[in-house]
Structure 1
Amino acid sequence: MTLLENKIVCITGSSRGIGRACAVESAKHGATGLILHYFGDQETEAELQSLKEEIYVMTHNHCQVVGVPGEIADSETSQKIVKAGVEAFGRIDVLVSNAGICPFAEFLTMPHAIWERTRQVNLDGSFYVVQAVANQMKSQVPQGGSIIGLASISALVGGEFQCHYTPTKAGIVSMMQSCAIALGKYNIRCNAILPGTIATDINKEDLANEEKREYTIKRTVLGRLGAPDDIAGPMVFLASDLAKYVTGAQLLVDGGLFVNLQ
Structure 2
Amino acid sequence: MTYEGLFRLDGRRAVVIGAGSGIGREAALALAAHGAEVVCADRDVPAAEATAAACGGTARELDVLDAAAVARAADDTSPDVLVFTAATNVRKRLLDYSAEEFQRVVDLNLKASFDVVRAFGAGMVARGRGSIIGFASIRASVTEPGQGVYSATKAGLVQLLRTAAAEFGPSGVRVNAVAPGVVETPLTKQIKDNPAWYEAYAAKSALGRWAQAEEMAGAVVYLASDAASFVTGSVLYVDGGWTAVDGRFDPPN
Q: How does 1:136-175 map to 2 (within 5 A)?
A: 136-140=123-127, 143-175=128-160
CA distance in 2: counterparts of 1:49 and 1:181, whole angstroms: 35
Q: Which residue of 2 aligns with 1:117?
A: 104
Q: How does 1:217-256 map to 2 (within 5 A)?
A: 217-256=202-241
CA distance in 2: counterparts of 1:53 and 1:147, whole angstroms: 24
Taking only aligned residues, the RMSD between alpha carbons, in angstroms, comes to: 1.3
CA distance in 2: counterparts of 1:21 and 1:47, whole angstroms: 13
Q: Which residue of 1 aligns with 2:72?
A: 80
State the shift of 1:146 in Å.
0.6
CA distance in 2: counterparts of 1:111 and 1:165, whole angstroms: 14
CA distance in 1: counterparts of 2:15 and 2:219, whole angstroms: 16
Q: SS state of the match for residue 175, structure 2?
A: strand
The counterpart of 1:130, out of the listed 117, 120, 123, is 117
- Given that residues 68 and 80 in structure 1 are in contact (C-alpha distance below 8 angstroms), is that contact kept between their aligned partners in structure 2? no
State the shift of 1:249 in Å.
0.7
State the shift of 1:97 in Å.
2.0
Q: SS state of the match for residue 229, structure 1?
A: helix
Q: Which residue of 1 aligns with 2:87?
A: 100
CA distance in 2: counterparts of 1:3 and 1:226, whole angstroms: 25
Q: Partner amino acid for 1:4?
A: L
Alpha-carbon deviations, 1:124-181, whole Å to 9, x = none? 11111111111111222xx211111110000001121121111110011101111111
- Given that residues 39 and 52 in structure 2 are in contact (C-alpha distance below 8 angstroms), is that contact kept between their aligned partners in structure 1? no
CA distance in 1: counterparts of 2:207 and 2:196, whole angstroms: 18
Q: Partner amino acid for 1:45?
A: V
The sequence identity of aligned pairs, in percent, is 31
CA distance in 1: counterparts of 2:49 and 2:232, whole angstroms: 34
CA distance in 2: counterparts of 1:169 and 1:163, whole angstroms: 10
Q: How does 1:49-64 map to 2 (within 5 A)?
A: 49-56=49-56, 64=57
Q: How does 1:17-36 map to 2 (within 5 A)?
A: 17-31=22-36, 33-36=37-40
Q: Which residue of 2 aligns with 1:185?
A: 170
Unaligned runs of 5+ in 1: 57-63, 86-90
Check if 1:198 corresponds to 2:202.
no
Q: SS state of the match for residue 198, structure 2?
A: helix
Q: How does 1:35-54 map to 2 (within 5 A)?
A: 35-39=39-43, 44-54=44-54
Unaligned runs of 5+ in 2: 249-253
Query: TM-score when scaled to structure 1?
Result: 0.88
CA distance in 2: counterparts of 1:97 and 1:130, whole angstroms: 9
- Given that residues 196 and 226 in structure 1 are in contact (C-alpha distance below 8 angstroms), is that contact kept between their aligned partners in structure 2? yes
Q: Which residue of 2 aligns with 1:211?
A: 196
Q: Which residue of 2 aligns with 1:16?
A: 21
CA distance in 2: counterparts of 1:138 and 1:17, whole angstroms: 29
Query: TM-score when scaled to structure 2?
Result: 0.91
CA distance in 2: counterparts of 1:105 and 1:158, whole angstroms: 13
- Given that residues 40 and 49 in structure 2 are in contact (C-alpha distance below 8 angstroms), is that contact kept between their aligned partners in structure 1? no
